[in-house]
Amino acid sequence: MQIREDLRNIAIIAHVDHGKTTLVDQLLKYSGTFRENEQVDERAMDSNDLEKERGITILAKNTAINYKDTRINILDTPGHADFGGEVERIMKMVDGVLLVVDAYEGCMPQTRFVLKKALEQKLTPVVVLNKIDRPNARPTEVIDEVLDLFIELGADDEQLEFPVVYASALNGTSSNEPDEQEETMEPIFSTILDNIPAPEDNSEDPLQFQVTLLDYNEYLGRVGIGRIFRGSIKVGQQVALMKKDGSVKTFRVTKLFGFIGLKRIEIKEAKAGDIIAIAGLEDINVGETVCPIDHQEAMPIPRIDEPTLQMTFVVNNSPFAGKEGKYITSRRIEERLLTQLETDVSLRVDPTSSPDAWIVSGRGELHLSILVENMRREGYELQLSKPQVIIKEIDGVRCEPIERVQVDVPDDHTGAVMESLGSRKGEMIDMVNQGNGQVRMEFKVPSRGLIGYSTEFMTQTRGYGIINHTFDGYAPVVSGQVGGRRQGVLVALEAGKASTYGIMGLEDRGIIFVDPGTEVYAGMIVGEHNRDNDLTVNITKEKHLTNVRSATKDQTATIRKTRKLTLEEAIEYLDDDEYCEVTPESIRLRKKILNKNEREKAGKRKTV
């Protein structure tokens, strides 16, 4: 069997914020891919605005580096389990993985998630212990943790013999020993070349290219990115596209692109093992196979994890509808959702009995909130219902998604966290005292118990706690109430502007969400009640002016700081009878029934 010694295909996998994207930056710089005078941003691979703002990778991306006569294709993958669909497809394109682990934090929930995917594909691992320069780094213990995780996930003997490189991506240093760091990435490159298998060179066989990622270009239309598993391809060649539904389309390859650094370069041909982009067919989709017209053989479509959470997206029908957004009609919203389906394989969009509402299912709250955030930035207005977990029937038993939750908290907060997760039907599976006053606990909790939990967790731990969770699997539905909001809300009685006087009169009733001067409408949620029932309030109330001079007239009215909810917090906060109204400029909470009397009647009918 011939192999392509001049090529390596690897994916970089890790938990969120363990330094994948920063490490790719350093590999690009050290390899001489950039010109000396080229201006390169930090975390250059995180190219869209949301990725830059949040410091997370949302979309998988590819780059290539030339190092010592070898082309190394590198795929940077997301660490969040919500973007697991991206990770899963990438594993099909590569022969090995660089597992990046924080030298202090060690193995985290998403480390387990991404490593499990890699081991299932029988990929060759290289472990990079990053952030070795941290004062509290503990390399020996972390390597033991990584080994335990490999064993637990069923790694074979070859995979257990993984090489380890110690690095500080931020400082651009690495070495094969934990206490000797040098300003070079040479040890990582050498380890990749020595350990990651080179792809097979079967370029004389009939072509097989599978689309793994999609891109869009206004001049070229849809562009399919993937790996050539067999054979070769040239510009101008007539090929067949094996569609998911079994149909076959023929098309001519108009352009081929390879990758080097952060750029796409036009190429004339490519062969087995290469990762390339193909333009020429407008309805090419993820998982479909390109092959010769006279040798049609489809590759298996990658299995993608099913969605676990769903929300109803509704056309905005609030009194403020159309004031801030460009796209507000059901036709526009539906078109946008269907466009998202073309590139997001983990998303589902189902129609409802109403033409103005759709059930959108995704891998988690972050997955869905990123979609909503992108839509509002593009000028869309819409309303969202409370997220619901997706219940499945497995072997005749109703099952719900379960999350593996890891919390790091100061030891004086452990009791409160254990009690609150216990009330949400959480089951503790591990507890380790890490010294320096920190405790790490691991739980299995029903996904519905975690909806809205992060705010409560941060309050309980006074902001010192860290919580991470990842999808673990399905288990029989736990009976009884799980999670949910305990507090009622303050609901505006009438339309107008929130006044300082009105807000001051309500401050002892709860926490206010709106500033003075904010436009409100009847039925809009303006605060959280400090009791468990809803209260309709007059937040627009103005002080009556009289000609009697007040003894305290020179005192300035001061109000407490209002609480501003982010999009994720607003979605988590929702109750069954509420919507989150999202526009390019505002995020508002409202009752589904705006009229106070009708709302009370509906509430009475519900309790009967």
Task: Pick out the residues of the known binding site.
Answer: 17-22, 130-133
- Long-range contacts from 143-146, C-beta under 8 angstroms, 24+ separation: 145/106, 145/107, 146/99, 146/101, 146/106, 146/107
Distance of alpha carbon 346 from alpha carbon 329, whole angstroms? 25
- Side chain identity at residue 149, one-letter code: L
β-strand partners of 266: 257
Which residue positions form the known binding site for GTP?
17-22, 130-133
Distance of alpha carbon 194 from alpha carbon 555, whole angstroms? 75
Contact 409, 459 (CB under 8 A): no
Instruction: Determine the distance from the C-alpha atom of residue 423 to the mean position of all C-alpha atoms in its chain, rounded to a whole number.
Output: 27
Q: What is the DSSP string of 177-197?
A: STT--BS-SHHHHHHHHHHSP
Tokens 């023929």 belong to which residue?
Answer: 250
Beta strands 232-234 and 348-351 are unpaired
Enumerate the H helices of 99-156 as residue ranges.
Answer: 109-120, 139-152
Nearest of 451, 489, 454 to residue 468 by alpha carbon: 454
Distance of alpha carbon 587 from alpha carbon 592, whole angstroms? 15
Contact 114, 33 (CB under 8 A): no
Nearest of 521, 511, 502, 505 to residue 590 by alpha carbon: 521
H-helix or E-strand spanning residue 86: helix 84-91
Contact 441, 418 (CB under 8 A): yes
- In our burial notation (b when 16+ CB lie closer than 10 A, e otherwise), range 539-561 reads bbbeeeeeeeeeeeeeeeeeeee
The backbone torsions φ and ψ at residue 447, rounded to the nearest 5 degrees and listed phi first, read -55, -35
Distance of alpha carbon 262 from alpha carbon 273, whole angstroms? 20
Nearest of 281, 202, 203 to residue 239 by alpha carbon: 281
H-helix or E-strand spanning residue 21: helix 20-30
**124: three-class secondary structure by DSSP:** strand
| Burial (CB count within 10 angstroms: exposed 0-12, middle 13-18, buried 19+), residue 11 | buried
Contact 250, 240 (CB under 8 A): yes
Contact 553, 543 (CB under 8 A): no
Beta strands 489-492 and 535-537 are parallel
Q: What is the number of other CB atoms lying within 10 angstroms of the CB of residue 518?
A: 19
Distance of alpha carbon 478 from alpha carbon 444, whole angstroms? 12
- In our burial notation (b when 16+ CB lie closer than 10 A, e otherwise), range 336-357 reads bbeeeeeebbbbbbeeeeeebb
Contact 311, 387 (CB under 8 A): yes
- Side chain identity at residue 585, one-letter code: E
